[in-house]
Amino acid sequence: MLLKKIDNFANNFLSNFNFFAQFLLRLGLGIAFIIHGYAKLPLPPQKLIDFFNFSPFLASLVCICELGAGFLLIISGFFNSYMGNILTRVSSFIIVIIMSFAFYFAHQDWFINSKLFTSEQIFLFLIGFYFLIIGNSKI
């Protein structure tokens, strides 16, 4: 009985913080992508060109998409309309695509082993996928 009362209290009290919890996830993912994109400046990112044999255009596009998706994901959380929902899904779709290609090009040896689940990349992918599914919906 006591545990049920504690659970009810926690649910009632913490439900007021749903937006804050989602915003922290959104902020963390957005900042991570901004930092990853910023690290690739100045354009074109020579490391992507040398290591992956990307063209200067593609290397620059990766950098711009990382920066843009990070900023867009954070900003779109402040729009309580269909536009915020669409912008959240667009930015998270870009994040999921970037992370999918990062796994394919940079981390092929990570699939289904401990390296995958002890790196930040899987969590960037999963949180991006989370926002792709829920958009700006309130839980």
Element housing 132 (H / E): helix 120-134
Q: Where are the domains of the chain?
A: 19-34+68-134
Amino acid at 122: I
Contacts by residues 80-88 (CB-CB < 8 Å, ≥ 24 positions apart)? 80/136, 84/136, 85/135, 85/136, 85/137, 86/135, 88/26, 88/131, 88/135, 88/136
Q: What is the pLDDT of residues 43-83, one digit of tens each?
A: 999 999 999 999 999 999 999 999 999 999 999 999 988 99
- 54 — alpha (psi -120 to 50), left (phi > 0) or beta? beta
The predicted structure's pLDDT at residue 139:
58
The predicted structure's pLDDT at residue 116:
72
Q: The whole model's pTM is what?
A: 0.85
Greater model confidence, 60 or 21: 60
The predicted structure's pLDDT at residue 19:
81
Residue 55: φ, ψ to 5°: -70, 160
How many Å apart are CA 23 and CA 5, to the nearest integer? 28
